[in-house]
Chain A
Amino acid sequence: MNGVEQETVGTYGLMAEFESPTGLIAACEAAREAGYTKLDAYTPYPIEAVWEALGHHKSKVPLLVLLGGLAGASGGFLFQYWVSVVAYPMNIGGRPFNSWVAFLIPSFEMMILLAAFAAVLGMFILNGLPMPYHPVFNVERFAQASRDRYFLLIGKIDPHFDPTETRRFLEGLAPVEVAEVEE
């Protein structure tokens, strides 16, 4: 695992493994202070402090949900209006063709349906899923990221990235191990 003379071609980045979330959060902050920007952290469960330490801004999922909900509600209502007033007007017990109170219920259900799809599909798209292959899976210890270990990745695309310097920097953060991520 001595990476001093490793070549950087075919390298995706360097990954440091930590035993505790606090170690990872401290490492994220230190890496940001050292000027690294192309960072990613991997944790077995959501930790707000990690994405805050990485400087991520707000998720776009709520906006998508709002749009989905608006589309569902308005689309659902307009469709029922069109069916009941334009396409197939039917006199049901003397009620108006545009029985909007009754139409609110399917409109509500359509709002929930499209908003839920927007939340799920939006999350997938923003996360770039499905993605069957990713270089981080080449690190053998990475399987522990879905159990109880915490990882910090500095990507090769980072302008500050230098195979030797970055490795030294990561090793200074008291990790369990620093591994090279092969492309």
Chain B
Amino acid sequence: MSDPLGKAPIVAPGHTAGSVTDKISSIVFERTPRWWWAAFGASFLLVMMLLHSLTKLLFTGVGIWGINIPVGWGFAIINLVWWIGIGHAGTLISAILLLLRQEWRTSINRFAEAMTLFAVACAGIFPLIHVGRPWLAYWLLPYPNTMELWPQFRSPLIWDVFAISTYATVSALFWYVGLIPDLATLRDRSVQRWKKMLFGAFAMGWRGSAVHWHNYEVAYLMLAALATPLVVSVHSVISFDFAVGQLPGWHATIFPPYFVAGAIFAGFAMVLTLSIPLRRLFRLEDFITLRHIQNMAKVMLATGLIVAYGYMTEIFMAFYSGNQFEEFMILNRIAGPYRLYWWALILTNVLAPQAIWLRKVRTSPALIFLVAMFVNVGMWLERYVIVVTSLSRDFLPSSWGTYSGTYWDWSLFIGTIGLFLALIFLFIRFLPMISIFEMRTILPGAKGNPE
């Protein structure tokens, strides 16, 4: 199925609906590979670290963190924004590329959607623990209560509650609906009865009848059309947390588009980080081809350029505004106490991705992986710079302060990385990591595809 542009095929030649089904479902049915235990074990240890830190936090309070007055946000918000941003690539790949009829998305969308779910789960931890008394976090929700209190709907923090919970719910629905036909495949291919029952229960009696598919395709397309504006709204709302505030460096109209681009940038970096080793370990090079890796790298480069443009606009606007606080904010970023973070940010987010212009880098999954790792770090640094430099140096020198994360800040952050990886490893072990039924549709001879 080579297209007129002469690009590499999306699926390696020689595959049929049967072979695609067998290959992808065999990953679920085969014996657990030894590397899986090692990888899962390592991430599980980090989950234990996360639980330890959470326990310590619940018994002691947020005083164990580095937050102070004036830097009251710190790691919790940095990590929230970082994780949510990572999640956005999953929705972009599954929804926006579906609407744009980018068939190459098919072999990575399931996996990217799972990544979204787990990233949002990690993100969700931080605002909950940041409220200090997480057992009262339900106060954020509007519900009739004996205190006769209602949330204040003019606040971006309440918008966040609605945006993130809707995003988590819709992502879960999208992922599950996408899984149903594949769960039916696993049900039909299970040998043991208990597996048949388990997959069968989640497949809900899917038969793949014409009526089923008809309603299914429409519903799936509708979900994609709903998820597309949703994903843009979520990161815009998160940027409002900053932009609606009045601090120099936060109060900028460029924030929503700049944050959305940054989210996609970070998300594609994470999809690359995960898919490059996994395609190797599971020998999925036939399905996740070099063309997929290259396409994702190009999206990463494009969104990276938008982000770089955002940085330049911030600098330009600071001086163009003639506002002394804005000017000071930028100079403080470049040469102030947190200058190392800012320069590292420029290195990782602006300079490193430029390597993708080179064909040599673009054709080497290992080098693309390296660039993606730079971006993963860089996007975290970006949020660090935004949160910390602005809060620590506001309008009045008498209220200035300094900030650095404590052990507990780091252990919680690294612990969520462990949680994320552990969930990813469980997912690829127990569920088909590539959408089998969608792979069947892009094979030669399927539907109206040329033989």
A positions within 8 Å CB-CB of B: 20-21, 40-51, 54, 56, 59-62, 65, 69, 79-80, 83-84, 87-88, 90, 92, 95, 99, 102-103, 105-106, 108-110, 112-113, 115-117, 119-120, 122-124, 126-127, 129-134, 136-137, 142-148
Q: Shortest CB–CB separation between residue A84 and chain B, in angstroms?
A: 6
Residue of B142, B152, B177, B207 touching A92 (CB-CB under 8 A)? B152
A20, A40, A105, A147: which contacts B21 (Cβ < 8 A)? Answer: A147
Beta-carbon contact of A106 and B162 below 8 Å: yes
In-complex Cβ contact of B205 among A51, A88, A126, A131 (8 A):
A131
A-B contacts, 26 of them at CB < 8 A, read A40-B210, A41-B209, A44-B208, A46-B213, A46-B216, A51-B214, A54-B210, A56-B210, A56-B211, A56-B214, A59-B219, A61-B218, A84-B153, A106-B153, A106-B162, A109-B233, A115-B222, A117-B173, A119-B223, A120-B173, A120-B176, A120-B177, A123-B216, A132-B201, A144-B188, A146-B181
Minimum CB distance partner of A83 in chain B:
B150
**Residues of B contacting A49 with CB < 8 Å?**
447-448
Binds A, one of B5-13, B49-57, B163-171: B163-171
From the candidates B166, B200, B218, name the one contacting A109 in the complex (CB within 8 A).
B166
Stretch from B129-137, B323-331, B436-444 at the A interface: B436-444
- The chain A residue with its CB closest to the CB of B21 is A147
Known: A83-B151, A129-B205. A21 touches B447 (CB 8 A): yes
In the complex, which residues of chain B have a beta carbon less than 8 angstroms from the beta carbon of A117?
173
Query: What chain B residues lie within 8 Å of A115 (beta carbons)?
Result: 222, 226
How far does the Cβ of B55 sit from chain A's closest Cβ, in whole Å?
A: 33
Is B210 touching A43 in the complex (CB atoms < 8 A)? Answer: yes
1/0 contact string of B177-209 vs chain A (CB within 8 Å): 100010011011100000000001100111111
A143 to B209, alpha carbons, bound, how many Å? 13
Q: In whole angstroms, how far apart are the Cα atoms of A106 and B441 in the complex?
A: 37
Q: Which 4 A-B pairs have the closest CB atoms?
A: A130-B204, A148-B17, A131-B205, A123-B219
Contact A105 B162 (CB under 8 A): yes
Give the chain A neighbours of B441 by CB distance below 8 A. 45-46
Report which of B205, B208, B214, B227 forms a contact with A130, defined as CB distance below 8 A.
B205
Once the chains are docked, how many angstroms separate the CA of A68 from the CA of B154?
25
CA of A169 to CA of B185, assembled, Å = 30
B396 within 8 A of A: no
The answer to whether B159 touches A105 (Cβ under 8 A) is yes
B189 touches A42 (CB 8 A): no
Is B3 an interface position by the 8 A CB rule?
no
A166 to B177, CA, bound (A): 36
Whole-angstrom CA separation of A126 from B290 in the bound complex: 40
Taking a contact as CB atoms under 8 Å apart, the answer to whether B159 and A119 are in contact is no
Q: Which residue of A lies closest to B174 (CB)?
A: A116
Contacts of A113 in B (CB 8 A): 166, 169-170
A120 to B209, CA, bound (A): 17
| A42 in complex: contacting residue of B151, B209, B226, CB < 8 Å | B209
Q: Is the Cβ of A106 less than 8 Å from the Cβ of B158? A: yes
B237 within 8 A of A: yes
- Is the pair B153, A47 in contact by a Cβ cutoff of 8 Å? no
Q: B185 and A146: CB pair below 8 A? A: yes
Is B212 in contact with chain A by the CB < 8 A criterion? Answer: yes
| Residue in B213, B222, B446 whose beta carbon sits within 8 Å of that of A119 in the complex | B222
Q: Known pairs A42-B209, A132-B200, A147-B189. 20 more at Cβ < 8 A?
A: A40-B209, A44-B17, A45-B438, A46-B216, A46-B217, A47-B446, A51-B211, A56-B214, A83-B142, A92-B152, A109-B233, A113-B169, A116-B227, A120-B223, A124-B204, A127-B215, A146-B185, A147-B17, A147-B188, A148-B440
Q: How far is the CB of A179 from chain B (nearest CB, A)?
A: 15
Minimum CB–CB distance from A73 to chain B (whole Å) comes to: 12
CB distance from B313 to the nearest CB of A (A): 24
* B162 CB contacts on chain A under 8 angstroms: 105-106, 109-110
**Residues B159 and A106 in contact, CB atoms below 8 Å apart:** yes
Chain A residues, Cβ within 8 Å of B174: 116
Residues of chain B with a CB closer than 8 A to A88's CB? 148-150
The yes or no answer to B18 lying at the interface (CB within 8 A) is yes
Are B153 and A99 in touch, CB under 8 angstroms?
Answer: yes
In the complex, whether B336 has a CB less than 8 A from a CB of chain A is no
What are the residues of chain A within 8 A of B200 when measuring CB–CB? 132
Whole-angstrom distance between the Cβ of A181 and the nearest chain B Cβ: 12
A112 touches B18 (CB 8 A): no
- Cβ of B404 within 8 Å of any chain A Cβ, yes or no, is no
Cβ-defined contact, A44 with B440, below 8 A: yes
Using Cβ atoms and an 8 Å threshold, which residues of chain B touch A45? 17, 181, 213, 437-438, 440-441, 446-447
Contact present for A51 and B210 (CB under 8 Å): yes
* Of A105, A116, A120, A146, the contact of B184 (CB 8 Å cutoff): A146
Q: Closest Cβ of chain B: how far from A34's Cβ, in Å? A: 18
Residues of A within 8 A of B41 (CB): none
Per the bound structure, the CA–CA distance linking A70 and B217 in Å amounts to: 22
Q: Tell me if B226 and A127 are in contact (CB < 8 A).
A: no
B230 at the interface (CB under 8 A from A): yes
Residue of A nearest to B161 (CB): A106
Contact between A119 and B153 (Cβ–Cβ < 8 Å)? no
Q: Which residue of A lies closest to B149 (CB)?
A: A88
